[in-house]
Amino acid sequence: MIPILDSKRQYAKIGKEIEKEVLEVLASGSYILGKHNKALQTEFSEYVGSKYSVGLNSGTDALHLALRALNIGRGDEVITTAFTFVATASAIGLAGATPVFVDINPDTFNIDANKIEAAITPKTKAIIPVHLYGQPAEMDKIMSIAKRHNLKVVEDCCQAIGAEYKGQKVGTFGDFGCFSFYPTKNLGGMGDGGMIVCNDESLYNRVIALRNHGGAIRYYHDELGVNSRLDEIQAAILRVKLNYINEWNAKRRENAYRYNEMFAKYPEIETPKELHDSYCVYHQYTIRLENRDEVHKLLQENGIGAMIYYPVPLHLQKLHKDLGYKEGDLPFTEKDTKKVMSIPMFPELNVEEQQTVVDTVVKCLNMTKQVV
The pLDDT, as a whole number, for residue 47 is 98
Taking Cα atoms as reference points, which of 200, 158, 150 lies closest to residue 175? Answer: 200
Q: How far apart are CA 151 and CA 75, in angstroms?
A: 15
Q: How far apart are CA 76 and CA 72, in angstroms?
A: 6
- The ranges assigned to domains in the chain are 7-102+111-242, 245-369
Mean per-residue pLDDT of the chain = 97
pLDDT digits (tens, 9 = 90+) for 156-179: 999 999 999 999 999 999 999 999
Residue 24 has pLDDT above 70, yes or no: yes
The pLDDT, as a whole number, for residue 216 is 86
pLDDT digits (tens, 9 = 90+) for 280-290: 999 999 999 99
CB distance 171 to 158 below 8 Å: no
The pLDDT, as a whole number, for residue 336 is 98
CATH class of 245-369: alpha beta
CB distance 182 to 188 below 8 Å: yes
Please compute the mean of the pLDDT values over residues 300-322 and round it to a whole number.
98
Taking Cα atoms as reference points, which of 275, 274, 222, 279 lies closest to residue 245? Answer: 279
What 32-35 contacts at long range (C-beta under 8 Å, 24+ apart), as own/partner pairs, is: 32/229, 32/231, 32/232, 33/229, 33/232, 34/232, 34/235
Residue 371 has pLDDT above 50, yes or no: no
Find how far residue 57's CA is from the centre of its chain.
15
Residue 333 has pLDDT above 60, yes or no: yes
The pLDDT, as a whole number, for residue 370 is 81
pLDDT digits (tens, 9 = 90+) for 180-233: 999 999 999 999 999 999 999 999 999 999 999 999 888 999 999 999 999 999
Kindly give the interhelix angle for 35-48 and 232-242, rounded to the nearest 10 degrees.
40
Kindly give the interhelix angle for 232-242 and 7-28, rounded to the nearest 10 degrees.
130
Q: State the pTM of this model.
A: 0.97
Taking Cα atoms as reference points, which of 98, 94, 151 lies closest to residue 125? Answer: 151
Residue 372 has pLDDT above 70, yes or no: no
Q: How far is CA 75 from CA 58, 98, 116, 122, 233, in A?
A: 26, 7, 19, 10, 39
Fold of the 7-102+111-242 domain: Aspartate Aminotransferase; domain 2 (3.40.640)
